[in-house]
Amino acid sequence: MVAGTLRRVLAAMGSVSLVVLVAGGVRRAAAEGDCPGTNVRYEGKCLYPDEAEAARRRSEGARLPRARNPMGLEVRDTVCSGRQSFSWNEDFSTGLGNWWLFGSPKPIIETSMGNPAPSFNNNGDPNYNSGALSRIQFDFRNGATISADFLVQSNPVGCWTGAATGIATGEPADYGNTTDAWMISGIGFDYIGDACWGDPPAQRRHGVIYCWIIGKDGTREEYYRGYKDAFLDAWHRVSVEVSAGGVGTCYLDGTRLASSSGVIDVSSLNTKRIYLGLRSGTYGKALIDNLVVQGCLGSDFHR
C-alpha cells in the first residue's frame, strides 16, 4: 500500500523532488528542487513534515475502499431487547430535504467524498457551529440508537474540526447563526490544532471522542472523553444509545466506550429531532454519512 501511494505521488510530481512514505509517514529525501530547511514537498507544495503527513492521511482517508456501514451496526438489539423496532436511514443521496439547516455558513452536501459519496458536511466556520435538525420528530421514550459514519480530518496548524450527532435538545427556533442548543444525548469527534490557542497545549494535535447526556436534574454528564488519534483521517462508525431507563452508552466501530451513571428523563423524548453538526472546512473536513436512527416501538414513533 505504501509503495502504491509512493508511485501515485511520484507520478503527480514528476522528477522535481522526492517524498518517501515510510511506515505511514512522510520523510524528506535529497533531490533537485528540494524545499528549504526541513520542509518536504507534497503535491507541488513545500510543507512542514507534519502538514505533509496530515495531507497524505486526509487524501488516503477520502478514498478508502470501505463498504457501506462496514460494521453492520444499523440495527442493534441491545436497546430494544427483542421488542419490535423501527429504523430510519439517511445516506444524503437525495440532498438535504430531510433536514432543517442552521448556522452561517449553512451545511452542504459533499458530492465528491463519502462512504461512498455523497456525505453531509456541517460547513461550520471557526466562530460558530453549523448543523442540521431532522424534519422528522421521533418518539424515543422506549429507547433509541443513532449510528453514523464519521470522517474527521486533521491539520496541525488549524483549529477546531469536528462532527457530532445525537438527540437534539430543542426545536429549530433554538438553533441559529450564533446559537446552538446542542443535544440531550450525543457523541462527538473533534480535532484540535495549534491555532486553538485557548485550548491547553497538551490537548492540541489530538483527536478526541466524547459522549454525554443531560440528566434528569438538567446537568450535563460527559461520561466518556478519550484521545483517538488513530481514528482521524479515515471513516469510522460511531453510535450512541439511550436505554428505556435513560442510560446513555456510546460505541466506536462496534466497541463499547462507556455508559452514563446518570439517566435522561425519557418521558421528555416523545417528540425529538436528530442533530448533525459542528465545524468543518476551514482547516479540514468533518463528514457524516450512512446515518441510521433506530427506536423501539411502544407508541407512535414519529410525527
Enumerate residue ranges in the chain where pLDDT < 70: 1-40, 42-43, 45-79, 81-84, 297-303
Catalogue all structural domains in the chain, each as residue range(s) with its CATH number: 2-62 (no CATH), 77-296 (2.60.120.560)
What mean pLDDT value characterizes the chain?
Answer: 79
pLDDT at 200: 80
The rounded distance, in Å, linking the Cα atoms of 176 and 19 is: 45
Three-state SS annotation for the chain: CHHHHHHHHHHHHCCCCEEEEECCEEEEECCCCCCCCCCEEECCEEECHHHHHHHHHHHHHHCCCCCCCCCCCCCCHHHHCCCCEEEEEECCCCCCCCEEEECCCCCEEECCCCCCCCEEECCCCCCCCEEEEECCCECCCCCEEEEEEEEECCCCCCCEEEEEEEEECCCHHHCCCCCCCCEEEEEEEEEECCCCCCCCHHHCCEEEEEEEEECCCCCEEEEEEEECHHHCCCCEEEEEEECCCCCEEEEECCEEEEECCCCCCHHHCCCECEEEEEECCCCCCEEEEEEEEEEECCCCCEC
Task: Specify the pLDDT at position 46.
Answer: 67
Q: What is the pLDDT of residue 1?
A: 43
Q: What is the pLDDT of residues 32-57, one digit of tens each?
A: 456 666 666 766 766 656 556 555 65
Q: What nine digits make up the cell of 242?
A: 439511550
